Structure 1
């Protein structure tokens, strides 16, 4: 009995990092955005996403959007319900992003799948952390 309780305690305390989405392998990164630079001017207005395709930032890049009240959100540019492939990079049109492989649409304000089929469990966009300081955003995972 003591051995059983000890093994339960051991496994309960073991730290393992789990992915939030089994299709997407999460990597650690940190990227700074200077809101004063011209390529990020769109982020001065609510609802205008900006794509960052710098290698090493996310899997297929990151979309950042100003959601108002000095709040910014960042989402992975990979389709969340597919393993990365040649067609699994979402494309934005305003604040809606579409996966060209399966035509699923996602809100860049919330990351939610907008045209979710009834009864199916599907993933929303993978969200990254955003920290702001004056005119700099830091996107990280």
Structure 2
């Protein structure tokens, strides 16, 4: 019985250390502090009111951030730096519908998943919503 409790305690500690987000340890993208408040009532961020209408926001992250509403009350936010290229070799990714496209290798990354069929996915940030304000942070 003692062994079972020890196993349960070990498992609980192991899973409590995980945050269920994809691993953001990408050697190509520096870790910058991100703390952006985006009000969807402002014209610049108005597309955040609509599903599948991404917004590019400069001044945050390594090369800007791309934020998209993915469902009612849910959003994704990713760094606009190409995840599988050296940091200084490419410009910020561009938006093409629900995809972000790398300027160097033309790889398209899905803004619902951050995946693009390469070694590293897009660097993802946390998102919280309060009323019309979308808070993107790490």
Name the TM-score class by shorter chain: 0.7 to 0.9
Gaps of 5+ in 2: 1-22
TM-score calculated relative to the size of structure 2: 0.78
Larger radius of gyration: 1
Aligned match of 1:79:
82
- Which residue number in structure 1 is paired with residue 14 of structure 2? none
Q: Structure 1 residues 81, 68: CA separation in 2 closer, same or farther (over 3 Å shift)?
A: same
In the alignment, what sits opposite 1:66?
69
For the Cα contact (< 8 Å) 1:49–1:95, is it kept in 2? yes
Q: Which runs of 4+ in 1 moved over 4 A?
A: none
Which of 25, 29, 33 lines up with 1:28 in the alignment?
33
More helix as a share of residues: 2
Q: Secondary structure at the match of 2:87?
A: coil
Q: Which residue matches 1:125?
A: 122
CA distance in 1 between counterparts of 2:27 and 2:76 reads: 22
**Does the CA contact (< 8 Å) of 1:82 and 1:88 recur in 2?**
no
**Cα distance in 1, alignment partners of residues 24 and 39 from structure 2:** 29
CA RMSD of aligned residues (A): 1.6
Q: How many residues align?
A: 116
